[in-house]
C-alpha cells in the first residue's frame, strides 16, 4: 500500500515539475503588450526572470507578491516567479510560472 502511494506521489510530482516554466496562452496576444512579473524576497530564480525581462522589447513591472497580496490573488499567483504578458488593456494574454524560455517569451510579445 505504501509503495503504491509513493509511486502515485512520484508520478504527480514529476508531472508538476515538468510543467513549471512552461508558458501557456491565456488569450489573444498582439501589439502594445507589457510584462508583469510577480516575485518574492526569497525567490531564488526571480533574478533570472528579471534579467530576461530587461532584455525583452516591452515595458515591464515587477510586483512583490508577498506585499501586494490583492494583486497576486487577482492574477491567481501561487508561486514566484510568475510572469504575465498583458495586452494594451492590461489583460493577461500569456503566463509562465518559473523561468520561461527566451524564445517563448519573445514569441508572446511579438505581434
Q: Please tell me the distance from the alpha carbon of residue 110 to that of residue 107, in angstroms, as a whole number.
A: 5
Q: Is the pLDDT of residue 17 over 80?
A: no
Average pLDDT, the chain: 83
Give the pLDDT of residue 24.
Answer: 45
CATH number of 2-109: 3.40.30.10
Given the DSSP bridges, would you call strands 60-64 and 82-86 parallel, antiparallel or unpaired? unpaired
Cα dihedral 35→39→43→47 (10° resolution):
40
Domain segments of the chain: what residues? 2-109
Query: Does the predicted model carry a pTM greater than 0.75?
Result: no
Give mean pLDDT, residues 54-61. 94
Residues 6+ apart with CB under 8 A from 60: 34, 35, 36, 37, 53, 54
Q: Which pLDDT band, with edges at 50, 70 and 90, does 6 fall under? A: low
Amino acid at each position: 500500500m505504501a509503495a503504491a502511494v509513493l509511486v502515485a506521489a512520484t508520478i504527480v510530482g514529476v508531472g508538476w515539475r515538468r510543467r513549471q516554466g512552461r508558458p501557456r496562452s491565456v488569450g489573444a496576444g498582439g501589439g502594445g503588450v507589457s510584462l508583469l512579473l510577480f516575485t518574492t524576497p526569497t525567490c531564488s530564480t526571480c533574478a533570472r526572470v528579471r534579467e530576461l525581462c530587461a532584455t525583452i522589447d516591452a515595458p515591464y513591472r515587477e510586483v512583490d507578491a508577498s506585499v501586494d497580496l490583492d494583486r497576486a490573488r487577482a492574477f491567481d499567483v501561487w508561486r514566484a516567479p510568475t510572469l504575465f504578458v498583458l495586452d494594451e488593456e492590461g489583460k493577461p494574454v500569456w503566463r509562465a510560472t518559473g523561468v520561461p524560455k527566451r524564445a517563448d517569451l519573445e514569441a508572446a510579445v511579438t505581434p
